[in-house]
Structure 1
Amino acid sequence: MAVVKLFLEVTVLSAISAYVLDNRIVYPTPPGCSWEGKEYNHGDGINRDNCSMCECHMGQIVCMYPNCPVFHHNCVDVVTIKCGCHHCPNGYNCKFGNLTLQYGTDYRPDETTICSCVEGEYNAVCRPFGCEYQGKMYSEEIFHPSPCVTCRCYPHTNVQNCSLNACINKPLVCVDATVEAGTCCHVCPNGPNCFAGNRKIPAGIDYNDGGQICRCPEPNHEMHFGSSGPQAICNLVGPMAPPSSTTHPLQVL
């Protein structure tokens, strides 16, 4: 019975990689490895190549490889150096068509486009260059989308600041004002003038229509304004003039 019992103990303990012999726990010898016709014991180092550190472990060849430098960027002419590590001999770069662009530099294929090398990208990444205002692209630093608006563009960020042009806020002293070129400000191209009825007369000039004499005051004098602009000051003359017309105040049409 004792022999059978010992056999059973050996069988059970062998399943857990150890057995009892003469009241001692005995661990079996781990299996070895074979590499290129040569046998290695468990724990032996194996020289496979110059880039790895290998050893025999429980019948398996286990290797550790050196860490390559972190390769964040990219290049179109990458080469493989020792132990499979990558290297960019000409620095980081990318492709744009047949051109090679260096990392950190920009390329302008046209006035409204800018292309750059972006980290990890093989091809250059392109985007609009300039600023968009009401559906139109502007690449100038200062641009005028309309006579009344001036904008400053920051083309690398596609941001613009726009403001209305400032005009001198003074009453216009003419009835034929026009907008000055390149601004939104009105000017009097023919100098100060007024309406006498439907007739335009220059400032400081009398107009006699037979029934009244009208004068447009000079700009430094008080002017009278109607819905259509400055109005002349008129005096009745002839038979229609009242007896005191020489002292009667001027009437506005």
Structure 2
Amino acid sequence: MEKWLLPLLMFGQLAYVFCSDPLTFKQHTHCKKYGNIYDVNDRFTHPEDSCKECVCCKTGKVKCKKKACPNVNLDCGINRREDIASNECCQQCDAACLAEAPNCPDLSGCPGIIHFAPDACCGTCGSKSRGVVYPSSNEIIDDEVHPACEQCKSLNGVFTCENEAPCPENKLQCVDGKVMNSTCTWECPNGKTCKVGSEVIHPGEYKKIGERICTCVKDGFFPHGICANAGHWGEIEEALAANMCVKRPSDFSTWSPNP
């Protein structure tokens, strides 16, 4: 490692991404990614996210990492954050919230999760349920996650429900199930679905996610979708095209759910 990098790494001013190559692997001289060819050890900015640095590894794979940010105060609502002038990839609370911070209540003893409303400088002692953080309030929650029929509250870091919907005897076969307010029961509003990362895929749908085409398994139920490289062209494809009359991969950008 270059000696000049050490001070920057120590103070978190630079995200220096490294390859963690396995002991035994086929060595490559380049990587094919994002429609480009990179030589091994080439470092470059992610073409779709300028806040990520990438490197081409000897395995032929590209590894990326988000650029590091300085240790600044982000204890404020998302609408009260602003870009740091010297680093557009990082944010901090605006000047008004930084000035207000010493006057915010001490929430170190909160039994739940500290919640910041979008426009607030100070937080409240909230709680988390089904992946959603709720602020402290005496009001009955009524949203897509907890409809009013469940009679739920988030108060001082504790989440309670008077009529929480139980899991059905026949478990759901979808990844986007929800409690329907009309019946207060769990249902699959979009049928049998699967998921890749944060993307939900519907039955019969082929969805382009990054450089891959993904779909759900037709028979049975698997919560994880299956994917294949979209338009990837490597040594196997070259050989098939030359010797077996195989067509080159298509442009899947126009793929849509099957009728």
Instruction: Give TM-score scaled by structure 2 length.
Output: 0.24
**More contact order relative to length (CA 8 Å, sep ≥ 6):** 2
Q: Which has the higher helix share?
A: 2
Larger radius of gyration between Structure 1 and Structure 2: 1
Structure with greater strand percent = 1
User: TM-score normalized by structure 1?
Assistant: 0.25
